[in-house]
Chain A
Amino acid sequence: EAGVTQFPSHSVIEKGQTVTLRCDPISGHDNLYWYRRVMGKEIKFLLHFVKESKQDESGMPNNRFLAERTGGTYSTLKVQPAELEDSGVYFCASSRATDYYGYTFGSGTRLTVV
């Protein structure tokens, strides 16, 4: 099966700009997760979709972050306006409805805010 695809792989933006990250999960995977790893720290949970619904967004740091999953397929994560502390690697993972911990990760988007 095709893997989880994330785009772009790298993004460098200036503070105050907007960036949109995209994740295409494995087809048929109802669960889609966003995580972030800030340099040297843990991979931290941001939010969890089940199909198109937000199941848990308790990890979203603030209202500058907006995630969507229209139609229950791909997902986008928008950061607007970006701040320096938003820099890090953003990972997406997907899993089947019957095995929600059975993550397949994407390769991540490395976001650098300067």
Chain B
Amino acid sequence: GENVEQHPSTLSVQEGDSAVIKCTYSDSASNYFPWYKQELGKRPQLIIDIRSNVGEKKDQRIAVTLNKTAKHFSLHITETQPEDSAVYFCAANAGSARQLTFGSGTQLTVLP
């Protein structure tokens, strides 16, 4: 089955700096890669996703890149703000199974 590894587990950045979170996956059949943000006490919410037919996708300060050959994808947040502080999860679809496999999460702290 699919296995998703996520790094780092914690990340602290100064406000205004960039943050990068990286994930690797194992199943070459995976073709959908979402990122979720979970603020303290709230539900995980989709912030951006990418499909295997593109290498990069951007939405304002957030971007995701995908390298299918190397089986890794990354989340990039620019000009970080305190409200970006949260746990971020990457995920990949598990081949033919209609479920997502998640990484272990990254606690991002943006220091004012």
Contact = CB atoms under 8 A, between A and B. Distances in A.
A associates with B: yes
Interface of A: 3-4, 31, 33, 35, 37, 40-45, 48, 55-56, 58-59, 91, 100-103, 105-108
Given A41-B104, A42-B4, A56 B99 contact: yes
Contacts of B6: 42
Contacts, number: 57
A35 B45 CA distance: 14
Interface residues of B, number: 25
Interface of B: 4, 6, 9, 32, 34, 36, 41-46, 89, 91, 93-94, 97-105
Contact of A56 (B32, B36, B97, B103): B97
A42 B43 contact: no
Contacts of A105: 36, 43-45
A43 B104 CA distance: 7
Contacts of A58: 97
